[in-house]
Amino acid sequence: MAVRVLVVDDSAFFRQRISEILSQNPNITVVGTARDGLDAIEKNNELKPDVITMDVEMPKLNGVDAVRQIMRERPTQVLMVSSLTHEGAQITLQAMEAGAVDYLTKDMRAWMDKSQSLNEDLTGRIIALGKSKHFVKSSLVNRFSATASGKKSTTSSHVFRLQEEAKAPAATRAIRQSAKPVQPTRCRIVVIGSSTGGPAALQTILTQLPANFPHPILLVQHMPNTFTSVFAERLNQQCAIEVKHAESGDKLKPGRALLAPGGQQMILDGTQSVQVLKGDERLTYRPSVDVTFASVAKNFSAQALGIVLTGMGADGRDGAKLLKSAGATIWTQSEGSCTIYGMPQAVVKAGAGDSVVDLKDFAAFMCANRA
């Protein structure tokens, strides 16, 4: 059955362009368009789409407030279409806290040029969201937001060497799905990879960690640089732990999470600090979970906990295999709590996972490991 889509944008050009791209795919049906938030709410109730593409800035009612009301009246998968500006990133993250599950950047040149990669990205996201049955409820996300504490080189060839090492075969063991996950024997670092649905998932986990969390954390979320910098700021305001947009030379510290900058790669410089490298165009993901995982495997071996959260594709699979072969422990997010069960599923199918964990349980199990 084709995915039913409602296109919402106050720009006639973008309504037409998005509808044109989606209508070319036989697995997608555009059931209607709306020109503002109020119109979107009415047509969501009337047309009952599977997915909504939502503009951010619109007259009468903006995208953030529209998402909040949609989640109250008829929860639907919402893909935000946002500008690459700092302000656009802030508003988009607010929309994702309200219940939107993904976003696509509004780069006018790419849309005008009828980029094939843009077409494939948009349709791929729409189909994946249309198949997903998991919704991020605003009440859940806002509950964690309310816990805010009020606190405020290496060359690209080295990156490729790490990625090639990550493709080495890993020992295959049956994954455990018991109430308590496999814990690292002696954990010294936690590294987390995520993509679609990741911002809300990371917020859920990180806002539950205490300020005295005993391990450093590395975060790799697929986002452009403007978004990762704003996302790090928001998490830092909401969390008891420190969350920082990573820079070369940043030290690993207990209770500190370093977020990989968008468009670049984050690797370890030994066991004390990180390096941020220019993102090589030949790598699909910048930042890449595989690259950071491989670096952690090289420097921490069995003393690492790798976590793969919701996301499209298979980034993290090869890095998880390398971590596993080095003796590290790998947890994957459960299918039922994922927005998109792509990345975790790839790890499980590769035999690189140790335990499947529900989103709500990650923080408690991470805190249980004090070794």
CATH of the domain at 69: 3.40.50.2300
Contacts for 251-256: CB closer than 8 Å, 24+ residues apart: 252/189, 252/216, 253/216, 254/212, 254/213, 254/214, 254/215, 254/216, 255/209, 255/210, 255/211, 255/212, 255/213, 255/214, 255/216, 256/216, 256/217
Q: According to the model, what pLDDT value does residue 87 have?
A: 81
134 and 154 within one domain: no
C-alpha dist (Å) from residue 250 to 267, 269, 286: 11, 10, 19
Is 134 among the residues known to form the active site?
no
Catalytic residue (choose from 55, 132, 222, 318): 222
135 and 35 within one domain: yes
357 and 317 within one domain: yes
299 and 164 within one domain: yes
Catalytic residue (choose from 82, 83, 194, 195): 195
295 and 180 within one domain: yes
361 and 312 within one domain: yes
Domain boundary, last residue among 141, 167, 194 = 141
Q: According to the model, what pLDDT value does residue 137 have?
A: 43
pLDDT per residue as tens, the chain (371 positions) = 899 999 999 999 999 999 999 999 999 999 999 999 999 999 999 999 999 999 998 999 999 999 999 999 999 999 999 887 778 888 889 999 899 999 988 877 778 777 788 889 999 999 999 988 555 443 333 333 333 334 443 333 444 444 444 444 433 334 544 568 888 888 999 999 999 999 999 999 999 999 999 999 999 999 988 899 999 999 999 999 999 999 999 999 999 999 999 999 999 998 899 999 987 777 788 999 999 999 999 999 999 999 999 999 999 999 999 999 999 999 999 999 999 999 999 999 999 999 999 999 999 999 987 65
95 and 124 within one domain: yes
User: Model's pTM, two decimal places?
Assistant: 0.84
Q: According to the model, what pLDDT value does residue 25 have?
A: 96
Burial (Cβ within 10 Å: 0-12, 13-18, ≥19) of residue 281:
exposed
Overall domain count for the chain: 2
Catalytic residue (choose from 50, 55, 250, 315): 315
The CATH number assigned to the domain holding 298 equals 3.40.50.180
Within 10 Å of residue 359's Cβ, how many Cβ atoms?
Answer: 22
Domain boundary, last residue among 141, 161, 195 = 141
Is 315 among the residues known to form the active site?
yes
268 and 233 within one domain: yes
φ and ψ at 15, to 5 degrees?
-60, -45
342 and 216 within one domain: yes
**Structural domain boundaries, residue 361:** 149-368
231 and 137 within one domain: no
Closest residue by Cα to residue 107 from 126, 94, 121: 121
112 and 249 within one domain: no
Q: According to the model, what pLDDT value does residue 107 have?
A: 77
Q: According to the model, what pLDDT value does residue 134 have?
A: 57
Domain boundary, last residue among 141, 175, 198 = 141
Q: According to the model, what pLDDT value does residue 111 have?
A: 80
352 and 262 within one domain: yes
